[in-house]
Structure 1
Amino acid sequence: MPADVWKPKHAADVRHSLESEVYPTLGERPLDQISAADVLELLTSIQDRGATEAAHRIRSRLSSIFQTAMVSEIIKADPAASLSKALKPIVKRKHPALLDLRSVRDCLLKVESEPGFPAVKLASRLLALTGARPGMIRFVEHHEFEDLDGPSPIWRVPAEKMKLEREESEQAAFEFVLPLSRQAVETIRAVRQMTGNRKYVFASASKSHLPISENALSSAYRRSGFAGRHVPHEWRSSFSTIMNERAMDLDRPGDRAIIDLMLAHQPEGVEAHYNRAAYMPRRRQLAQEWSDMLLEGVPHPETLLIGPRR
């Protein structure tokens, strides 16, 4: 697909993956001097660190570059075209999730206690507090947060950053507004002490004009011992399961639909085009309930700027 029809988020993601994975080894080489063996060596090095899906994704992106060069008659063949079978297959599996409050709190504390880049730990905390998708957290910009010093702080996610079809994502009506709890605001304020003058809230440590890498959060969870137990995306499942069970226990059946709204789920049927800001007062109450339960006894986010004690 031509880059000019990509969503900005996807274009930035492709650019970042090439800058971090490809350019350091192949970036200065003329295309007609890059062999299949060169590409395979690069892909194998990515795969060997446990990033099989990333290796396949890089192969596909390189193949698109080579095919474009073939059309322009710069090269005669695509050296990445047949390398997919040389890589390990991608194993599709259901992502794990922790589904009780004690386990998810322990997970959050463990990730935050390990040595690591503070912005990644703060990104993990905001992910847990909001139930947002990891890509939304990764690419969030400072201007998306509003009224942080007022009574009704929100995160206004632009339509193009939402996981929607292209036709919908270009319509302002499909932006998504998340109410922010007190703890979410504290987390944002903490990370702004590091990245307030940069484009992205969770900026990369090595390349300040870029967000944290695509695998930063997943790697932090693996290092903390949660491989096969909990992945960053599944904070959404944790939030949904725990809050829906709470709604049943407290005889609040009406909360179930509002919890779906909080996760930006698209309803089935003719009501697909709905007001994503609906029920904001109740959504704000539920966001605060979740934050109070999840972070009970958890240190203030500013402690993450210092790092763990040795």
Structure 2
Amino acid sequence: MKYRFADKEKLLSFGRYPDVSLADARLRRAEAKVALGQGRDPGAREVAEPVTTFEAAAREWHANRCASLDPGHASRLMTRLERDAFPALGARDLRSITSADVLGMVRSVEARGALDVSRRLKQHVSQIFRFSIPQGWADNDPAACLSGLLKPKPRTKHMARVGLQELPQLVRAIDGYDGDETPRRRAVTRAALLFTLLTWARTNETRLARWDEFEGLDGAEPLWRVPAERMKMEREHLVPLAPDVVKLLGEVRAYSTGGYVFGGDKLGQPISQNTMIYGCYRMGYRGRQTVHGFRGLASTWANEAECYRSDWIEMALAHADRDDVRSAYNSALYLTPRRRMLGEWAAYISALTLQGKNVSAHM
């Protein structure tokens, strides 16, 4: 609708058809003409009520970020705020919140042992205040000075793993896996262990893998696209697949049922959380080798090779930095060298398997 207001020609849009029907558009045109008759500009936006409370500011900040976030990550972020931050700070005026108030909220989360969550909440609160200050809702960031007061995380306890010199025996044990299970379950356990070793994946990334996450298995650049909700860093992870992995997936197809690659005993369910670790126990590695420890073996091999850059290795392990844009860019940027690195790792594992079979044949 073209109209003039204050001696200027303007254009007013009522929405896109068919989202807005012709009848609705005519009604809005009539309302616009009434506004003009009353001396008001129908295209002028009404001034919103100023934001004053922490919860209102937090929801505005979240809505502003939502478009750039994975839906699962956005939902988890809001859940953290609703569970811990809003009960303590939500109804408070932004200008009345002090550093001690924020620290009190963080301490209550630390008290239940959720140190990772407490750090993220402190970061979220700081981001909300930095979002609010330029808009005139707040004067300062009370969370800015709290970093040194947060409870330190305990030292990382590395998952048990054998030394790299024992990798050949481990690979042969996996290849010849013969646990006291049904034939199908033995095949699934062996394949899941080998797949995890070859892809550097975490346990849940493997056990919950679905066939629709794999792309180009018949092409030159096959890929496993692990969704963000299953990743520790809450970002999509791209895994270039070596020919040996594609071949393994082809073998698994023969007995896989349903959407999960590594299906459990119940139709439509994945293997259990303990399937692979119990497989390690049955091979005689209780207390010596965990499934998560496969990643440490792969990392040690890659770092000792001295021909792979550390950022390729970290990206392959999904140890990406927390900068969403930079991480997504690097994930695509490093796909080619990571494909080569994982391909050479798979070839090395295959050679160890073949070597073991040759030794057995001559015994």
TM-score, normalised by the number of residues in structure 1: 0.58
Out of 191, 200, 220, the position equivalent to 2:252 is 191
1:201 — aligned with what?
261
Determine the structure 1 residue equivalent to 2:176.
113
| Cα distance, 1:208 vs structure 2 | 2.1
1:98 corresponds to which residue?
162
Please report the RMSD computed on the Cα atoms of aligned residues, expressed in angstroms: 2.6
Alignment of 1:103-252 (within 5 A): 103-116=166-179, 117-164=186-233, 169=234, 174-195=235-256, 197-204=257-264, 206-247=265-306, 252=307
CA spacing shift, 1:255–1:139, aligned 2, 3 Å: same
Task: Say which SS state the counterpart of residue 200 (structure 1) adopts.
Answer: coil
- The equivalent residue for 2:342 is 287
Distance 1:141 1:244, change over 3 A: same
Same amino acid, percent of matched pairs: 29
Partner residue, 1:278: 333
- The amino acid across from 1:262 in the alignment is A
- 1:178 partner SS: strand
Amino acid in structure 1 at the alignment position of 2:173: K
Take 2:230 and 2:324, find their aligned partners in 1: how far apart are those partners? 24
Provide structure 1 residue ranges, at least 5 long, that are not aligned to the other structure.
8-91, 300-310
Task: Answer whether contact 2:258 2:268 (CA < 8 A) is retained.
Answer: yes
Q: Secondary structure at the match of 1:155?
A: strand
Per-residue CA shift, 1:64-93, capped at 9, x if unaligned? xxxxxxxxxxxxxxxxxxxxxxxxxxxx96
**Partners in 1 of 2:199 and 2:218 — Cα distance?**
18
Q: Given that residues 99 and 241 in structure 1 are in contact (C-alpha distance below 8 angstroms), is that contact kept between their aligned partners in structure 2? A: no
Determine if contact 2:175/2:353 at 8 Å carries over to the other structure: no
AA of the residue aligned to 1:295:
S
| Structure 1 letter corresponding to 2:313 | I
Letter in structure 2 aligned against 1:98 = V
2:320 aligns to what? 266
> Which amino acid counterpart does residue 296 of structure 1 have in structure 2?
A
Contact preservation (8 Å) 1:99, 1:237:
no
Q: Shift of the alpha carbon at 1:141?
A: 0.3
| Residues 189 and 272 of structure 1: CA distance in aligned 2, closer, same or farther (over 3 Å) | same
Alpha-carbon distance change, 297 to 233 in structure 1, aligned in 2, over 3 angstroms: closer
Distance 1:209 1:269 in 2: 36
In structure 2, the CA distance between the partners of 1:156 and 1:274, relative to structure 1 (3 Å rule), is closer
- How far does the alpha carbon of each residue in 1:46-73 deviate from its partner, in whole angstroms, 9 at most, with x for none? xxxxxxxxxxxxxxxxxxxxxxxxxxxx
TM-score by length of 2: 0.50
CA deviations 1:276-309 (Å, max 9, x no partner) are 222111111101111111120526xxxxxxxxxx
Between Structure 1 and Structure 2, whose CA radius of gyration is higher?
A: 2
- Whether the 8 Å CA contact 2:177–2:190 is kept in 1: the answer is no
Cα distance between partner residues in 2 of 1:272 and 1:222? 40
Please tell me whether the aligned partners of residues 181 and 284 of structure 1 are also in contact (alpha carbons under 8 angstroms): yes
**1:67 corresponds to which residue?**
none
Give the counterpart letter for 2:172 in structure 1. Answer: L
Once residues 266 and 239 of structure 1 are traced to their aligned partners in structure 2, the CA distance between those partners, rounded to angstroms, is: 17
- Asked if 2 retains the 8 angstrom alpha-carbon contact of 1:97 and 1:235, the reply is yes
Q: Distance in 1 between matches of 2:227 and 2:248?
A: 21
Counterpart in 1 of 2:35?
A: none
Is this contact kept in 1: 2:189–2:276, CA < 8 A? yes
SS at match of 2:292: helix
What residue is the counterpart of 1:10 in the other structure?
Answer: none
Partners of 2:338 and 2:177 in 1: how far apart? Answer: 32
Map 1:79-94 → 2, pairs under 5 A: 94=158
How many angstroms apart in 1 are the aligned matches of 2:324 and 2:240?
Answer: 26
Q: Residue deviations 1:160-212, cap 9 Å, x none? A: 11113xxxx4xxxx3111000011111111111111x41110001x2121111
8 Å Cα contact 1:266-1:272 kept in structure 2? no
State the distance in 2 between where 1:145 and 1:270 align.
23
For 1:192 and 1:124, locate their aligned partners in 2 and report how far apart those are by CA, in whole Å.
Answer: 16
Give ranges in structure 2 of 5+ residues lacking alignment: 1-70, 74-155, 180-185, 355-363
- Aligned mates of 1:290, 1:192 — CA distance in 2: 23
Q: Give the letter aligned to residue 227 of structure 1.
A: R
